[in-house]
């Protein structure tokens, strides 16, 4: 059976246009020249501060609004790179996320980007499931760790376990439920609770085919029920109980939950970090775990094999792990640091408002390699659309 790759086409970026000639191997002279800004692919909320941290959703709303915290992580990194390296960053938000690069690699097209920031183990597994089958394994470089001064600071349990050593963890988050205690008397405590009439038509979730937290929630259910009939039965009953699945995190959280459409949303255990920074009503930003667990989603940075600014790319990746940058990522991007505690000084507000579950649940790259695309296809066949 041929696997569907969930590649939906190449779209324009919301921060920089992703046009480029469909050629590689040095045929594009402008691309081959090691000049111009460092081009970093990431997600909207990192680049422009669309309200909340880690999410590889690719919506195109980049304008400021009153709900946004000032000076998002992207602004801080732009200013720092300009000051430290006297270079510019061009943020790129591909409309179809990692699938943009999967498709271009399959077409042997030019990859007009140097670094990807926010890559997860599930996305790396999807890259390899598709591209290895087509004989292309060079989307990302294997890292030369002797060029990274801060790589030994990373917490060992966050390693991607990628045998090609292509991704460096830069931060981690825990998926949870965020709920409005003025509407719900008590939150669900288990996955099975979500199927009870008490929580009918209350939950907002995201598409696992499009959204990073959507993928994380899907993988959380795989960890709980397995990848077969148990997982599918849960999702079928969740649908019957009125779950509303939005395409992207911003659709579910900002456009629906914050507007009062429903009293519960799949989001992150650091939600109150942003709520405190934007003076929101904490009653509407309560955190609930399921089975006293949370799905841990680690974000990484990788350098594209055809990067035209490889030296600057290594400097940028190393900067992400510096003491100051890790603290800025925590507060501005609402995520836990990737480095050991001794290498980061966390703001008191972050410490007061971030929560970790009693137990973290996750899948490593080794768990996902060769499997994730099939799991996602199974969900899509039975639940999607």
Q: Predicted confidence band at 25 (pLDDT cuts at 50, 70, 90)?
A: very low
SS3 of 269, please?
Answer: coil
User: What pLDDT was estimated at residue 132?
Assistant: 83
SS3 245: strand
* CATH class assigned to 174-295: alpha beta
Whether 7 shows a pLDDT value over 70: the answer reads: no
Rounded average pLDDT over 357-361: 97
CB 128 within 8 A of CB 137: yes
Q: What is the pTM of this model?
A: 0.85
For residues 145 and 125, give the distance between their C-alpha atoms in angstroms, rounded to a whole number. 22
Name which residue leads in pLDDT, 119 or 50. Answer: 119
The predicted-structure confidence for 57-92, as pLDDT tens digits, reads as follows: 433 332 323 344 446 788 999 999 999 899 999 999
Give the fold, CATH level 3, of 29-172+296-379: D-Maltodextrin-Binding Protein; domain 2 (3.40.190)
Residues 6 or more apart whose CB falls under 8 angstroms from that of 370 comprise 125, 128, 129
The DSSP bridge partners found for residue 339 are: 154
239 CB-near residues (< 8 Å, 6+ apart): 383
The mean pLDDT of 238-242, rounded to a whole number, is 98
Could you tell me where in the chain the CATH 3.40.190.10 domains are found?
29-172+296-379, 174-295
Q: Are 214 and 208 in contact (CB under 8 A)?
A: yes
Are 317 and 151 in contact by the 8 Å Cβ rule? The answer is: no
pLDDT tens readout for residues 139-191? 999 999 999 999 999 999 999 999 999 999 999 999 999 999 999 999 999 99
């Amino acid at each position: 059976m041929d696997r569907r790759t969930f590649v939906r086409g190449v779209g324009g970026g919301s921060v920089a246009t992703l046009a480029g000639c469909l050629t590689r191997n040095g045929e594009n002279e402008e691309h081959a020249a090691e000049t111009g800004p460092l081009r970093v692919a990431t997600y909207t909320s990192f680049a422009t501060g669309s309200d909340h941290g880690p999410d590889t959703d690719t919506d195109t709303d980049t304008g400021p609004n009153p709900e946004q915290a000032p000076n998002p992580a992207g602004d801080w990194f732009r200013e720092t790179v300009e000051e430290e390296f006297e270079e510019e960053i061009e943020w790129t938000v591909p409309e179809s996320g990692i699938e943009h690069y999967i498709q271009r690699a399959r077409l042997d097209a030019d990859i007009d980007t140097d670094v990807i920031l926010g890559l997860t183990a599930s996305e790396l597994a999807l890259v390899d499931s598709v591209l290895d089958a087509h004989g292309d394994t060079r989307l990302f470089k294997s890292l030369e760790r002797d060029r990274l001064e801060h790589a030994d600071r990373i917490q060992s349990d966050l390693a991607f376990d990628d045998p090609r050593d292509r991704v460096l963890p830069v931060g981690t988050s825990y998926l949870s439920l965020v709920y409005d205690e003025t509407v719900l008397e008590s939150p669900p405590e288990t996955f099975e609770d979500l199927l009870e009439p008490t929580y009918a038509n209350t939950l907002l979730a995201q598409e696992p085919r499009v959204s990073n937290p959507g993928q994380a929630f899907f993988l959380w259910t795989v960890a709980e029920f397995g990848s077969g009939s148990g997982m599918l039965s849960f999702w079928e009953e969740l649908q019957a109980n009125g779950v509303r699945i939005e395409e992207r995190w911003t659709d579910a959280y900002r456009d629906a939950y914050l507007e009062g459409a429903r009293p519960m949303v799949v989001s992150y255990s650091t939600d109150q970090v942003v709520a405190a920074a934007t003076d929101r009503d904490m009653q509407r930003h309560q955190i609930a775990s399921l089975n006293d667990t949370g799905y841990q989603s680690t974000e990484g940075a990788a350098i594209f094999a055809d990067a035209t600014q490889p030296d600057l790319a290594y400097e940028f990746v190393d900067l992400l792990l510096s003491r100051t940058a890790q603290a800025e990522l925590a507060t501005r991007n609402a995520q836990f640091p990737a480095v050991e505690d001794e290498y980061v000084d966390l703001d008191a507000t972050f410490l007061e408002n971030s929560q970790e579950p009693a137990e973290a649940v996750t899948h490593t790259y080794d768990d996902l390699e060769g499997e994730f695309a099939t799991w996602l296809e199974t969900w899509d066949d039975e639940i999607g659309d």
